[in-house]
A and B are shown apart, each in its own frame.
Chain A
Amino acid sequence: MSHVTELLPPAPPPPETKGRVTPAKIIGWVLVAAWFLAGVALAAWLIGAWDIDKIALYGPKYLSGLWVTIELVVICILLGAIISIPVCYGRMSQNRVLSAFAYAYVYFFRGTPLIAQLFLIYYGFGSFRSELEAIGLWTIFRDAWNCALFAFSLNTAAYQAEILRGAIESIPRGQFEGAKALGLNRFHTFRKIILPQAMIVALRPYGNEIILMIKASAIVSIVTVFDLMGETRRAFSRTFDFQTYIWAAVFYLVIVEMLRNIWVVLENRLTRHLKR
């Protein structure tokens, strides 16, 4: 019987790679330094260009513009969520006509630029002025704010319907079958079994959709709504001071990053039962 009588000597550790300076690290340091310098230069410029009169004049306008942006996004996301439910139902329906109609709706709003949709509604509905006046809707569509709400809600509804559909289709069939075996009706199956699971899948896409909406809401400034971007453009056209745009960029970046981080926290909290 043979057995090992002496152990192999331990191998030397592999060469240390952690402290080594690689070309990638040097490029990285240079780039980070470049970002840092750019940030410092921007801050120095903003401090140097600080003008108390301009801040007093345009600061409150920026805040009111920010409020308009937030209002627009919140209303549109909520209205879009409501409209998306029948659209999603149509997309998943067995009925050919209904599903073709829903598909065409989604394809149109996802395949054309939002700015073209907004123009089609804001300027285009002017072609039907007499008809709209006859049914008393002209006062609604004369206003840029209402047109923006209308266009943005329809647009986000198309995207949200697809998010909802993807989430519902990701639920395994066994869940539907199990609910049926328990004798639950369709409404309760959907509300108690399918929706809670689908919402977790849909959480991240919904967050992305809200961020996309915040970014897209800047487009309303073109049809004379004074949101954050609209106030920025007005301030720039009066002062020709480039810092107006820089401040807008800071505002947008802060909102988007805040929302993104809130969403990460939310997602971690809502999916904690799925973690092992």
Chain B
Amino acid sequence: MPDPTAPPLVAASVLSSFDPLCGPIGLLQLLPDASLLACGAEGWGDEIASGFFITVTLSLATLPVGLTLGFFLALAKISAAPSLRLAANIYTTIFRGLPELLTIFLIFYGLQIGLQQLAVALGIDATFEINAFFAGLIALALVFSAFASEVLASAFKAIPAGQYEGAAALGLRSRTVMRLIILPQLIRIALPGLGNLWMNLLKDTALISVIGLSDTLRQTGIAARITKEPFFFFGIACLLYLALAMLSSLVTSHLENRYKRAEQR
């Protein structure tokens, strides 16, 4: 009889074998068992690795949501309809002006209280606990999309009108124009700005630890409190974020070079 829990287990074991910290070829496996960062029950390596995994997952999960939202907001901002531009600008003003921490609290408590009142209104007797990961994803996606819409809107404006006119003269449909003519140029122009936003997103995920998500910062904080070695563990947290920043700058510069090929001759 097939085990219903098998696929997630397989997925988890596949993922854990790629774990750069505590996997089979993980960095921390090199340390002796007595070390503070060892991966077994003694050390804090595996706890920190799980937090690191959550930080990366949260950023990667927020990115597509924020980019999609930001793309549609940017379309609204370059629209000919003033009302659509106004609606998009109100959104940007709010979510760019609020501190990220406040946005997180607003979403976390707001959703919880809102759902509770909805349940009371519908006569359902239940208490809601909003998942910190989910609330964090929404809050970060709102902030990310507000900034991304500015980057994408200015990239849209940087594409000359002749590109649209030429495409129209060729008889292409508007959807095809967007996909084949505008988007490739848009990505090339917007990539440096989006790369910066991605770095900010990575750093902002650390704020979600405040509402109880067990990310890198929270796990290192717990380790710091129990072992009474705060400088060591928060230093490790900083190094982990630094490693992520370095990795992403490698990836973004690679992507930028790739998209720049069209310009080289």
Tell me if A257 counts as interface (CB < 8 A to partner B).
yes
> A119 — which chain B residues lie within 8 A by C-beta?
217, 221, 230, 234, 237
Say whether chain A's binding surface is mostly helix, strand, loop, or mixed.
Answer: helix
Chain B interface size band reads 35 or more
> B90 — which chain A residues lie within 8 A by C-beta?
32, 35
Contact code string B87-124 (vs A, CB < 8 Å = 1, else 0): 11010011001111110011001100100000000000
Known: A29-B83, A242-B110, A248-B102. A115 touches B206 (CB 8 A): yes
> A28 — which chain B residues lie within 8 A by C-beta?
76, 79, 81-87
Tell me if B229 counts as interface (CB < 8 A to partner A).
yes
Known: A113-B207, A114-B203, A123-B224. A32 touches B80 (CB 8 A): no
> A34 — which chain B residues lie within 8 A by C-beta?
87
**Are B101 and A229 interface neighbours, CB within 8 A?**
yes
Contact code string B163-177 (vs A, CB < 8 Å = 1, else 0): 000000000000000
> B81 — which chain A residues lie within 8 A by C-beta?
22, 24-25, 27-28
* Nearest-CB residue, chain B, relative to A260: B97
Interface hit among B22-30, B38-46, B241-249: B241-249
Tell me if B210 counts as interface (CB < 8 A to partner A).
yes
Please measure, in the bound complex, the distance between the C-alpha atom of A107 and the C-alpha atom of B242, giving whole angstroms: 8
Q: How many residue-residue contacts, CB under 8 A, span A and B?
A: 144
Task: For A252, give its contact among B82, B99, B242, B245 (CB under 8 Å).
Answer: B99
Tell me if B235 counts as interface (CB < 8 A to partner A).
yes
CB-CB contacts below 8 Å: B198-238 with A = 199, 203-207, 209-210, 217, 221, 224, 229-232, 234-235, 237-238
Please measure, in the bound complex, the distance between the C-alpha atom of A259 and the C-alpha atom of B74, giving whole angstroms: 24
For the complex formed, measure the closest distance between the CB of A16 and the CB atoms of chain B, giving whole angstroms. Answer: 14
Chain A interface size band reads 35 or more
Contact code string A232-244 (vs B, CB < 8 Å = 1, else 0): 1100100000100
Known: A112-B245, A218-B99, A249-B102. A128 touches B94 (CB 8 A): no
Among A218, A219, A229, A256, max chain B CB count under 10 A is at A218
Please measure, in the bound complex, the distance between the C-alpha atom of A77 and the C-alpha atom of B245, giving whole angstroms: 25
Please measure, in the bound complex, the distance between the C-alpha atom of A242 and the C-alpha atom of B113, giving whole angstroms: 8
* Nearest-CB residue, chain B, relative to A39: B90
For the complex formed, measure the closest distance between the CB of B92 and the CB atoms of chain A, giving whole angstroms. Answer: 12
Q: A114-B203, A115-B210, A120-B231 are in contact. List 5 more A-B contacts (CB 8 A).
A: A32-B90, A111-B241, A112-B245, A113-B205, A123-B231
